[in-house]
């Protein structure tokens, strides 16, 4: 655990989880201004088109991940879209959106480590563990800075977490938040996660609103809301999250992201230029390039002989033209296809080059 000087700027609220793939048609946001109170949303149908790539979105506060996805999909007029894991409406920050062929590989990004900045309000516990919930207990904050540092050290490395009741995790096919809305609590097995880094950015232990501001780098599946509650409980006062911002996921960082308002103000060509290539999702994959004949056979799902050692994750490219063909693994000198792009996808990607790469 490291202690940093207090920094400026920072957070905005909560959470982050599970993958989704959304392929619904059209329709744009907005409402008609009218004196009537029952006016339905204005639905503007757009002409969809094939769009392939990854958009790094800075999800705004108050938007669900799906709402943000659908807005970006509408702005790009994309036929097919999904994302690599959700952020709660009360969270902001890095949300990679996948379009077209990139949706084939969105699951591969779920294992990536995540980084967050969060603010924990001390001395006040809520029903949901965040600022949206009803306050259920208040306690004086009597801990010292030294005790804060000691407690943070205890949360470094492998830990176990009990998922919060107000989460999308399912029990017997029912989301936990559905039980919570009915006032029910069900048993949830603890889950193993890893806290790689836990940095104290700012702290205030006195006054009307004591808080900790933290930077957390963690493994997939970590509930930052639960982490904040557990740290506050260990300090003897309880607490809840009032801000959460995802600053990184895998090799994607907040400074690379574009906001929805920025995207909306752009021309169509500028929006398309924000897309990263599909293989941006394949960091950590071994790169293998095949010649023309082997490329065609590989795209047909056939194994290819290669003079290479075993490797569990391989990104396979064709050489003429240079294009991503799919992902595979190597076992006993055989390149075995796992997930392939279609020839139509590849043709469309080639026709719409170049992609921006910030």
Tell me how far apart the alpha carbons of residues 97 and 114 are, in angstroms, rounded to a whole number.
16
What's the predicted TM-score (pTM) here? 0.83
Q: What average pLDDT is seen over the chain?
A: 86
pLDDT above 60 (res 279): yes
- Least confident interval from 135-144, 164-173, 290-299: 164-173
Contacts of 261 (CB under 8 A, 6+ apart): 60
- Give yes or no for residue 327 having a pLDDT over 60: yes
Q: Is residue 295 scored above 50 in pLDDT?
A: yes
| Residue 42 banded pLDDT, cuts 50, 70, 90 | low
pLDDT digits (tens, 9 = 90+) for 125-134: 998 888 888 8
Q: What is the average pLDDT across 26-39?
A: 43
Nearest to 328 by CA among 312, 344, 343: 312
Q: Mean pLDDT lowest for which of 55-69, 166-180, 316-330, 336-350?
A: 166-180
The encoded tokens of residue 303 equal 């194994």
Domains within the chain, CATH numbers bracketed: 1-31+49-278 (3.30.2350.10), 284-351 (2.30.130.60)
pLDDT at 283 over 60: yes
Picking from 121, 147, 296, the residue whose alpha carbon sits closest to that of residue 207 is 121
Q: Where are the alpha helices (DSSP H) in the chain?
A: 65-76, 145-154, 176-181, 224-234, 260-265, 268-273, 292-299, 343-351
Mean pLDDT, residues 6-17: 37
Whether the pLDDT of residue 225 is over 90: the answer is yes
Residue 138 half-sphere exposure, CB side, CA atoms within 13 Å?
5
Point out the catalytic residue in the list 88, 230, 279, 345: 88
Is residue 1 within 8 Å of 200, Cβ to Cβ?
yes
Tokens matching residue 146: 């030294």
Exposed / middle / buried, residue 158 (Cβ in 10 Å: 0-12, 13-18, 19+): exposed
Average pLDDT of the segment spanning 46-51:
89
Predicted confidence band of residue 38 (pLDDT cuts 50, 70, 90): low
pLDDT of residue 37: 44
Q: Assess whether 88 carries a catalytic annotation.
A: yes
End-to-end CA distance of the chain: 32
């Amino acid at each position: 655990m490291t202690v940093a000087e207090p920094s400026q700027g920072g957070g905005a609220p909560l959470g982050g989880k599970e993958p989704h793939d959304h392929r619904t048609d059209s329709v744009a946001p907005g409402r008609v201004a009218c004196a009537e109170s029952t006016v339905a949303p204005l639905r503007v149908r757009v002409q969809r088109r094939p769009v392939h790539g990854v958009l790094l979105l800075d999800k705004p506060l108050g938007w669900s991940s799906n709402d943000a996805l659908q807005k970006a999909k509408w702005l790009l007029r994309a036929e097919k879209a999904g994302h690599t894991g959700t952020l709660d409406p009360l969270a902001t920050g890095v949300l990679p959106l996948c379009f077209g062929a990139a949706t084939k590989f969105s699951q591969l990004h779920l294992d990536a480590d995540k980084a967050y900045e969060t603010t924990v309000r001390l001395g006040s516990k809520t029903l949901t563990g965040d600022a949206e919930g009803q306050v259920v207990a208040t306690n004086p904050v009597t801990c010292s800075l030294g005790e804060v540092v000691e407690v943070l050290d205890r949360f470094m490395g492998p830990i176990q977490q009990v998922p919060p009741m107000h989460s999308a995790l399912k029990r017997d096919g029912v989301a936990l938040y559905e039980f919570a809305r009915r006032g029910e609590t069900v048993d949830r097995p603890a889950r193993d996660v890893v806290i790689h880094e836990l940095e104290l950015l700012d702290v205030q232990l006195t006054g009307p609103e004591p808080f900790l501001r933290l930077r957390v780098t963690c493994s997939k599946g970590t509930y930052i809301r639960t982490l904040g509650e557990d740290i506050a409980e260990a300090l003897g006062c309880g607490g809840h999250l009032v801000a959460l911002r995802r600053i990184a996921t895998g090799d994607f960082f907040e400074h690379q992201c574009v906001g929805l308002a920025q995207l909306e103000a752009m021309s169509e060509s500028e929006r398309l230029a924000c897309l990263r290539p599909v293989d941006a999702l394949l960091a950590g994959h071994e790169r293998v390039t095949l010649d023309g004949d082997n490329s065609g056979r590989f795209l047909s799902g056939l194994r290819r002989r290669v003079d290479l050692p075993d490797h569990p994750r391989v990104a396979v490219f064709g050489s003429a033209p240079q294009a991503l063909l799919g992902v595979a693994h190597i076992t006993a000198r055989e390149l075995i296809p796992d997930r392939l792009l279609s020839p139509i996808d590849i043709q469309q990607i080639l026709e719409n080059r170049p992609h921006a790469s910030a």
